[in-house]
Amino acid sequence: MLLKTMRFGEIDIAEEQIIEFPWGLPGFPEQKRFVPLHYGASTSLFFLQALDSPELAFIIADPFQIIGNYVVDIPQDDLEALKILTPEETAVYVILTIRQGGKEVTANLVAPLVINTAKNTGRQVILFNSPYNSRFSLNTQPQAVAK
């Protein structure tokens, strides 16, 4: 099927690439289907393109590339809602925000996107009692180079 995007034009995608967010995302409750798109050579950075809004895309990243020892303690209710049974069928991403016209990039480590890769469903989870915040700077933190 054809995916319309503002940034990349039309892209041919397979049904299986679509990730369903049954509850949308906070701030975007109507957006329930997204497609992660690889961009460039990076294997840990994606565009999360909204299927039904060509203009809406997020940049998401593998949080373990940002902080090697990132701890994500997913609340039990979220695991059950996503019907996640094993870590193997779980993928975790964080949303990046470009600030100051590109001078600063921050990662929302407190509200990761958790995806059931077996069922291709996801939700943005809000971590309780998390040591992280929603604006972890990738510019100034030495941990940002963890790899």
Partner 1 sequence: MLALTRKVGQSIVIGEGIEITVVEVKGDQVKIAINAPKEIPVHRKEIYELIQAENREAACLPEGIKVEELLGLWQDKEKV
Residues that bind partner 1 (CB under 8 A): 7, 22-23, 25-28, 39-42, 44-45, 56-59, 61, 65, 77-78, 80-81, 95-99, 101-102, 105, 108, 110-111, 123-124, 126, 134-135, 138, 144-145, 147
Residue closer to partner 1 (CB basis): 120 or 134: 134
User: How buried is 4 (Cβ within 10 angstroms: 0-12 exposed, 13-18 middle, 19+ buried)?
Assistant: middle
Residue closer to partner 1 (CB basis): 51 or 57: 57
Residue closer to partner 1 (CB basis): 14 or 147: 147
Q: How far apart are CA 51 and CA 4, in angstroms?
A: 7
Q: What is the DSSP letter of 54?
A: T
* 139: its two tokens: 């510019």
Helix, strand or coil for residue 128? Answer: coil
Question: Which alpha helices (DSSP H) does 7-132 contain, by range?
Answer: 63-66, 76-81
Residue closer to partner 1 (CB basis): 86 or 147: 147
What's the first-to-final CA gap in the chain, in angstroms?
36
CB of 71 to partner 1, least distance (A): 18
CB of 10 to partner 1, least distance (A): 18
CB of 88 to partner 1, least distance (A): 21
